[in-house]
Amino acid sequence: MGGKEQGDEGEERRGKIREINRKEEKENMKVKFTIFTYTSEVDNLRDRMGLTTSFSSYPNLLRHQVRVVVLECS
């Protein structure tokens, strides 16, 4: 019986170690983001990224402040 209890304890420890590793992975993943207010910079960025949508083709959006958020995950 004593051996069985020890086995359960070992399994529990392994579970905790896995959990800790998962937490560390999340913490190590850094997310950088840049916010641009609509300017010609946004169009330049769009061209660099190869996006096909032009922000200037949506005149209604230009009445409001348009912000573009670029996310980079490492």
Place of tokens 């993943």: 29
Residue 44 pLDDT > 60, yes or no? yes
Give the pLDDT score at 38: 54
Percent of the chain at pLDDT above 70? 0
d(C-alpha 62, C-alpha 65), whole Å: 7
Give the pLDDT score at 30: 60
Annotated domain spans of the chain? 2-73
Residue 48 pLDDT > 60, yes or no? yes
Whole-number Cα distances in Å, 53 to 6, 49, 56: 61, 11, 9
Distance of CA 28 to the CA centre of its chain: 12
Nearest Cα residue to 33 out of 64, 74, 62, 5: 74
